[in-house]
A and B are shown apart, each in its own frame.
Chain A
């Protein structure tokens, strides 16, 4: 075992294989938890037609194991089911995943470009006012409940800053084809500067709120691992080379401190995905977070059992892949790690 590209391929292959039992387990759990209570169709769907009701009763009167088997076989076949009212799950998730990914990537980007330098500044001024200011900043974010931060941003900040607070574009759908369902990328493909700016403006607030709330982890991890690295001899020898303090910190020390920060950021991706449920609902962002919210009956909508299970599975896959990426980055950043 070593660090050749083929070792890396084997490593990634193995980790992807591990994905299979994890996803299967998550699917069982999600299915059991959503279907374990008795579903009384006429109570849960009071406005449904007689046809829908009989369909519903036929589905939920079966033993839970056989319900799961039917769902599982269909799921593998690409049929992810439909809500009781007959809206298919798969198309909703397929268009929702890019929107959610866009939100998560944007806030991850903000966490990295703001959170990590803040951690370095905090470590450099450990115990002094710079450290305290940074701590106040990230603890404020950390202590803010997602729903509160999102609502404050949408209601108070948005009009004050003149930023839009609903949806991906000012008018939806926008006047160009949406190939990728990443709002900014689609506007760029359409070579439309006006709509690109519009898409950015719409992305800014939800991504900032999501980043602000989760920033503490990046900052705190960077700070503590920088404090571990700074007293080491190689930082002194970098200083002795005559490098300016900036290069000593951001090249030599941060490069080593990032090894731990990256791992934690991978775990945080799960937190970001969880955050999207509330953020997307508040900001009307058409992603799978908002879909998850309506699927479990949020906002008075009738529950969508198939949709809820599928969303949980997609989230789980997202978390596992984020951890895999973190593991790979960990191996790339630290040359002492062997891929196995």
Chain B
């Protein structure tokens, strides 16, 4: 087995609000194999978006605090990387597509400027010695990154050389790479064509508010891809779109997954979306990863009572046999989660041992695929739940 592209180990994230502590993500461990698409599903508030945004350290800290664990990305523990160094890992290392395409493009800049900026970042990295060259598969060597520059810190705002360096450097890069504005424009056009935009020349000169939601999401995808990231995080990329556009963007994503060889962490609350795109599936409940395994097997024979209940509650297209099923009870308050297995108050097969801390660990399931894991003491009983 190769080293995973992303390896999350025992990650816990709390939100500290006033005197309260909300355990948004508790002890999540997850491996994303290189080149795979891993889907994460769960209800609203189960911590899946927090998990997604914690990987590139995008969460505002405070109120979020990483309570413990490691996020290993290409041999670097991102939890320990100082904040000022994160920009060198974002972009060409990890890119992200957000949920709300209406808000994720800057309303004040033209489309061209926003996409070209991403192209510039990649070029600057590629030409910088010891930078994050990965398009050719060369390893990412964190130790060879340049030392902090004055412009990277708040105190360095007015230090000469700190800020100006970036612009000078960019011009040098452009000259060295023969990158004239018109050539950058070609690259941007290529990526807009890649995301199936019909009239890219016109789109380039428009502002985000002049485009539809689906169009903006395509541009977000183009922007994320043109940095050639080794890990792409899609945080509910289709949830905010209406159904027909959702289908179009999803088709695009599926086609791109085949065309662009990259690792994807796909966050969604829509089981159908995950079923169509992902290789592996992780199910989250109340901040914990309760089941993880190959998509087909998890769908066919779930080994955690919550997954089973979730699959039963999912609406199918032509459901005519009565009302939709719902899971009895309600999602626990994350400031005081139930002891032991967090699903036990709603679980049909719960026993006294389920209420004892620290609850069942995520462990391989006997008699299932080798990478199929479940956080339940009785995975063999789950198929028998009516």
A121 lies within 8 A of B60 (CB): no
A121 lies within 8 A of B105 (CB): no
B residues 45-99 near A (Cβ < 8 Å) are: 53, 56, 58, 60, 83-84, 86-96, 98-99
The CA-CA distance from A251 to B39 in the complex, in Å, is 34
- A117 CB–B CB distance under 8 Å: yes
B residues 110-143 near A (Cβ < 8 Å) are: 117-118, 121, 125
B154 lies within 8 A of A234 (CB): no
A236, A241, A259: the one within 8 Å of B117 (CB) = A241
Classify the interface of chain A: helix, strand, loop or mixed: helix
The CA-CA distance from A121 to B155 in the complex, in Å, is 9
B95, B157, B209: the one within 8 Å of A117 (CB) = B157
A244 lies within 8 A of B166 (CB): yes
A247 lies within 8 A of B96 (CB): no
- B163 CB–A CB distance under 8 Å: yes
With A236-B58, A335-B207 known as contacts, the answer to whether A244 contacts B103 (CB < 8 A) is: no
The CA-CA distance from A335 to B88 in the complex, in Å, is 31
B90 lies within 8 A of A242 (CB): yes
A256 lies within 8 A of B108 (CB): yes
- B379 CB–A CB distance under 8 Å: no
A226 → chain B, closest Cβ, in Å?
13
B151 lies within 8 A of A333 (CB): no
Fill in one digit per residue for B221-234: 1 if any A CB lies within 8 Å of its CB, else 0. 00110010000000
B118 lies within 8 A of A241 (CB): yes
- B106 CB–A CB distance under 8 Å: yes
A246 lies within 8 A of B118 (CB): no
B342 → chain A, closest Cβ, in Å?
29
A237 lies within 8 A of B91 (CB): no
B residues 151-186 near A (Cβ < 8 Å) are: 151-152, 154, 157-158, 162-163, 166
B92 lies within 8 A of A242 (CB): yes
- B371 CB–A CB distance under 8 Å: no
Q: Which residue of A lies closest to B110 (CB)?
A: A335
Q: A residues within 8 A CB of B109?
A: 252, 255
B100, B108, B162, B227: the one within 8 Å of A241 (CB) = B227
Max chain B C-beta neighbours (<10 A), residue from A234, A247, A334: A234
B103 lies within 8 A of A246 (CB): no
B107 lies within 8 A of A336 (CB): yes
With A117-B157, A233-B100, A245-B152 known as contacts, the answer to whether A240 contacts B207 (CB < 8 A) is: no
A242 → chain B, closest Cβ, in Å?
2
A244 → chain B, closest Cβ, in Å?
5
B100 lies within 8 A of A246 (CB): no
B residues 266-300 near A (Cβ < 8 Å) are: none
Q: Which residue of A lies closest to B167 (CB)?
A: A247
Give chain A's interface residue range (CB within 8 Å of chain B): 20 to 34
A129 → chain B, closest Cβ, in Å?
12
B98 lies within 8 A of A256 (CB): no
B103 lies within 8 A of A233 (CB): yes
B166 lies within 8 A of A247 (CB): yes
B199 → chain A, closest Cβ, in Å?
19
Q: Which residue of A lies closest to B119 (CB)?
A: A241
A335 lies within 8 A of B154 (CB): no
With A242-B88, A245-B84 known as contacts, the answer to whether A237 contacts B108 (CB < 8 A) is: no
With A232-B103, A246-B157, A335-B209 known as contacts, the answer to whether A240 contacts B166 (CB < 8 A) is: no
Q: B residues within 8 A CB of A259?
A: 108
Q: Which residue of A lies closest to B86 (CB)?
A: A239
- B220 CB–A CB distance under 8 Å: yes
Q: Which residue of A lies closest to B224 (CB)?
A: A240
The CA-CA distance from A316 to B87 in the complex, in Å, is 49
With A121-B154, A130-B154, A233-B100 known as contacts, the answer to whether A245 contacts B87 (CB < 8 A) is: yes
B58 → chain A, closest Cβ, in Å?
6
B91 lies within 8 A of A242 (CB): yes
B209 lies within 8 A of A237 (CB): no
The CA-CA distance from A48 to B241 in the complex, in Å, is 81
- B104 CB–A CB distance under 8 Å: yes
Q: Which residue of A lies closest to B115 (CB)?
A: A241
With A234-B105, A246-B157 known as contacts, the answer to whether A239 contacts B152 (CB < 8 A) is: no
With A234-B107, A237-B104 known as contacts, the answer to whether A243 contacts B121 (CB < 8 A) is: yes
Q: A residues within 8 A CB of B121?
A: 241-243
A residues 201-255 near B (Cβ < 8 Å) are: 231-234, 236-247, 252, 255
Q: A residues within 8 A CB of B89?
A: 242
Max chain B C-beta neighbours (<10 A), residue from A242, A246, A255: A242
Q: Which residue of B lies closest to A334 (CB)?
A: B108
A240 lies within 8 A of B107 (CB): no
The CA-CA distance from A125 to B153 in the complex, in Å, is 12
A240 lies within 8 A of B125 (CB): no
The CA-CA distance from A246 to B83 in the complex, in Å, is 13
B154 lies within 8 A of A243 (CB): no
The CA-CA distance from A145 to B100 in the complex, in Å, is 47
Q: Which residue of A lies closest to B163 (CB)?
A: A246
The CA-CA distance from A121 to B153 in the complex, in Å, is 11
- A83 CB–B CB distance under 8 Å: no
Q: Which residue of A lies closest to B117 (CB)?
A: A241
Q: A residues within 8 A CB of B94?
A: 240
- A144 CB–B CB distance under 8 Å: no
A241 lies within 8 A of B103 (CB): no
The CA-CA distance from A243 to B92 in the complex, in Å, is 11
B149 → chain A, closest Cβ, in Å?
8
Q: A residues within 8 A CB of B58?
A: 236, 239-240
Q: A residues within 8 A CB of B84?
A: 245
- A124 CB–B CB distance under 8 Å: yes
A residues 307-340 near B (Cβ < 8 Å) are: 333-336
Binding site for B on A (CB under 8 A): 117, 121, 124-125, 130, 231-234, 236-247, 252, 255-256, 259, 333-336
What 5 A-B pairs are tightest by C-beta distance, nearest first? A242-B91, A233-B103, A233-B104, A335-B207, A234-B106
A-B contact pairs, 22 of them (CB 8 A): A121-B157, A233-B99, A236-B58, A237-B98, A239-B58, A240-B90, A240-B95, A241-B117, A241-B118, A241-B223, A242-B90, A242-B93, A243-B117, A244-B151, A246-B151, A247-B166, A256-B107, A256-B108, A334-B107, A335-B107, A335-B108, A335-B207
5 extra interchain contacts, Cβ-Cβ under 8 A, other than A234-B105, A242-B88, A256-B107? A124-B154, A241-B91, A242-B118, A245-B154, A246-B152
